[in-house]
């Protein structure tokens, strides 16, 4: 029989935090394995040292690289991948010989632990067991003696290695947070905390539960002294009074402090890349107190100190508009964000619809234009909307399909170039096929069709086809279609354009 692999968590540092089960299995092991950095002792072995039996086989798995450079042809990731393969082979040899192997893991084996890489490689062929351990952040919470999350607070665990803008955004969007993997990342993490408005309640804990344990406010930490065995805790909003779970602001301006320039802006962020966001919109977003919008669009707004974010789902436009209007009515400077142009199937019309309530009569609303998705796709293709064109959405969530059909026929009969938004979704898979059939009743089968997918974003594709060759099963919400008029053509270079003139 082969041996059994046990991934055993030994906790954050204090040997008394090792569980009884972990202690028993370590004492019964034939082989005790542990990871270690080159030239240093293993922290996991140090924690469990008094439990390791005399004469047991020890396997020290020494990392070839931690934070330094490597000459491995695959770089850092390639070097580690080879290391994990070699380590797995060493442990597999013991298991095949019938020896039980305990692989020690600091904290918990499956929480940012190296054990998981051995588990991935060995569990398919060998019996495995995982013994959970006390993770470092729970020990740090005990050291800080401050409740991390309570009631409905959402706790987010973040690696400090995230890009600084992304880290700031995630910190702003959660109630409580744990930031791991500090060391050299600390200066960027501190800036992200400040940008997210979370620095005041951030606590730094170093070597939690160990002899040299240290705790102090993040604002007072010397970046040059931060070791890898450190983390940051940001206590939950229900304790700090920062924000309630329904998105309501708990520290809004009082009428006396309301600013004269308080207003509601409705802005388009463009189709994707930052350089397609207009300077006017960028400047406006740098001045507002709140950003309201559909989650993925709010995520595109850089986080900074003093900015509160209000994300919501994709089908609550009026509720979102009312929240923004309520904030502006209380003297806050607010921006409602949309992708593309806010006035083209965006939030502008929802805001004006909600603003018809007399309670919002004194709220100033200003719409800032943005680059629309149809402009982006058209520019990538050439100039397909250089003449008269129509824009339609195939979504029947807010209008009956009968209306969509009637308008499609009218556009087709008028020989207009047609830009199609929202062509399909998970719940709407047939509309685009129906639309194609309707258009073919009035258009030549060889009519040019451009399909732009994720234009301006990673994975962008652009397909030029014809109405008869269009495969509607490949179309989804990430696509925008431009169906040409009778005069739309493709030149030898593959550029699509529609003449400005029309011959009768």
Whole-model pTM over 0.85: no
Do 255-368 and 5-133 have the same topology in CATH? yes
Q: Could you tell me the two tokens for 474?
A: 């490949």
Q: Residue 251: pLDDT above 60?
A: no
Q: In the CATH hierarchy, which fold is given to the domain comprising 255-368?
A: Cobalt-precorrin-4 Transmethylase; domain 1 (3.40.1010)
Confidence of residue 239 (pLDDT cuts 50, 70, 90): low
- C-alpha span between 411 and 390 (Å, rounded): 7
Q: Residue 277: pLDDT above 80?
A: yes
Angle at 185 between CA 181 and CA 186, to 5 degrees: 95
Q: What percent of the chain stands above pLDDT 90?
A: 77
Higher-confidence residue of 504 and 178: namely: 178
Instruction: Give me the residue label for tokens 């602001």.
Output: 249
**Looking at residue 87, what is its pLDDT?**
96
* pLDDT tens by residue, 93-151: 999 999 999 999 999 999 998 899 999 999 999 999 999 999 999 999 999 988 888 88
- CATH class, domain 138-240, is alpha beta
**Looking at residue 38, what is its pLDDT?**
86
The whole-number average pLDDT for the span 436-458 is 95
The whole-number average pLDDT for the span 410-429 is 92
The whole-number average pLDDT for the span 181-189 is 93
CB-side neighbour CA atoms (13 Å) of 278: 16
Strand pairing report for 31-36 and 57-62: parallel
**Looking at residue 403, what is its pLDDT?**
96
The whole-number average pLDDT for the span 30-52 is 94
**Looking at residue 261, what is its pLDDT?**
58
Q: Residue 408: pLDDT above 90?
A: yes
Q: What percent of the chain stands above pLDDT 70?
A: 94
Q: 92 and 122 in contact (C-beta within 8 Å)?
A: yes
Q: For residue 64, what are the CA distances in angstroms to 72, 76, 94?
A: 10, 9, 22
- CATH class, domain 374-497, is alpha beta
Q: Residue 351: pLDDT above 90?
A: yes
**Looking at residue 173, what is its pLDDT?**
87
Confidence of residue 425 (pLDDT cuts 50, 70, 90): confident
Q: Residue 397: pLDDT above 80?
A: yes
Confidence of residue 63 (pLDDT cuts 50, 70, 90): very high
DSSP string for residues in 134-154? --HHHHHHHHHTS----TTPP
- C-alpha span between 491 and 493 (Å, rounded): 5
Q: Residue 258: pLDDT above 60?
A: no
Angle at 221 between CA 219 and CA 226, to 5 degrees: 140
Q: In the CATH hierarchy, which fold is given to the domain comprising 5-133?
A: Cobalt-precorrin-4 Transmethylase; domain 1 (3.40.1010)
- C-alpha span between 181 and 161 (Å, rounded): 7
Confidence of residue 257 (pLDDT cuts 50, 70, 90): very low
For the ranges 141-150, 348-357, 361-370, the lowest mean pLDDT is seen at: 141-150
The whole-number average pLDDT for the span 241-269 is 57
Q: Residue 248: pLDDT above 70?
A: no
Q: Residue 394: pLDDT above 70?
A: yes
Q: What does pLDDT average to over the chain?
A: 91
Q: For residue 151, what are the CA distances in angstroms to 176, 197, 200, 244?
A: 12, 22, 21, 11
Locate the domains of the chain by residue range.
Answer: 5-133, 138-240, 255-368, 374-497
Confidence of residue 313 (pLDDT cuts 50, 70, 90): confident
**Looking at residue 431, what is its pLDDT?**
92
């Amino acid at each position: 029989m082969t041996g059994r692999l046990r991934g055993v968590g030994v906790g954050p540092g204090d040997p008394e935090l090792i569980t009884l089960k972990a202690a028993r299995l370590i004492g019964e092991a034939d082989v005790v394995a542990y990871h270690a950095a080159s030239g240093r002792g293993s922290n996991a072995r140090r924690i469990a040292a008094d439990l390791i039996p005399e004469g047991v086989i020890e396997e020290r798995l020494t990392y070839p690289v931690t934070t330094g450079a490597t000459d491995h042809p695959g770089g850092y990731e390639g070097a580690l991948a080879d290391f994990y393969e070699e380590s797995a082979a060493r442990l597999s040899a013991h298991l095949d010989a019938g020896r039980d192997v305990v692989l020690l893991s600091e904290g918990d084996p499956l929480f940012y632990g190296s054990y998981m890489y051995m588990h991935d490689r060995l569990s398919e062929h060998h019996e495995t067991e995982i013994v959970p351990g006390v993770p470092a952040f729970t020990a740090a919470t005990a050291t800080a003696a401050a409740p991390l999350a309570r009631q409905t607070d959402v706790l987010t665990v973040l690696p400090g290695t995230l890009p600084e803008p992304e880290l700031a955004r995630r910190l702003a969007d959660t109630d409580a947070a744990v930031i791991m993997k500090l060391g050299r990342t600390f200066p960027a993490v501190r800036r992200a905390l400040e940008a997210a408005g979370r620095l005041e309640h951030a606590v730094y804990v170093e070597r939690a539960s160990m002899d040299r344990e240290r705790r102090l406010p993040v604002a007072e930490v010397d970046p040059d002294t931060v070791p890898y065995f450190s983390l940051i805790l940001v206590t939950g909003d229900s304790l700090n009074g920062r924000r309630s779970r329904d998105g309501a602001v708990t520290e809004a301006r009082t009428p006396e402090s309301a600013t004269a320039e308080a207003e509601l802006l409705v802005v388009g962020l463009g189709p994707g890349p930052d350089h397609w966001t207009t300077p006017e919109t960028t400047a406006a977003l740098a001045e507002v107190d709140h950003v309201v919008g559909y989650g993925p669009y709010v995520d595109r707004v850089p986080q900074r100190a003093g900015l509160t974010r209000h994300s919501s789902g994709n089908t609550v436009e009026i509720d979102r508009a009312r929240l923004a209007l309520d904030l502006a009515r209380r003297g806050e400077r607010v921006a409602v964000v949309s992708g593309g142009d806010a006035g083209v199937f965006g939030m502008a019309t929802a805001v004006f619809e909600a603003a018809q309530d007399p309670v919002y009569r004194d709220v100033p609303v200003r719409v800032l234009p943005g680059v629309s998705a149809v402009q982006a796709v058209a520019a990538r293709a050439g100039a397909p909307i250089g003449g008269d064109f129509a824009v339609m959405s195939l979504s029947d969530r807010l209008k009956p399909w009968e209306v969509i059909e009637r308008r499609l026929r009218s556009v087709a009969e008028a020989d207009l170039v047609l830009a199609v938004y929202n062509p399909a979704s998970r719940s709407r898979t047939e509309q685009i096929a129906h639309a194609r059939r309707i258009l073919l009743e009035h258009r030549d089968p060889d009519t040019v069709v451009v399909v732009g997918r994720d234009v301006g974003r990673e994975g962008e594709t652009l397909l030029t086809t014809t109405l008869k060759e269009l495969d509607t099963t490949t179309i989804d919400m990430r696509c925008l279609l431009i169906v040409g008029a009778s005069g739309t053509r493709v030149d030898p270079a593959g550029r699509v354009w529609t003449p400005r003139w029309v011959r009768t």
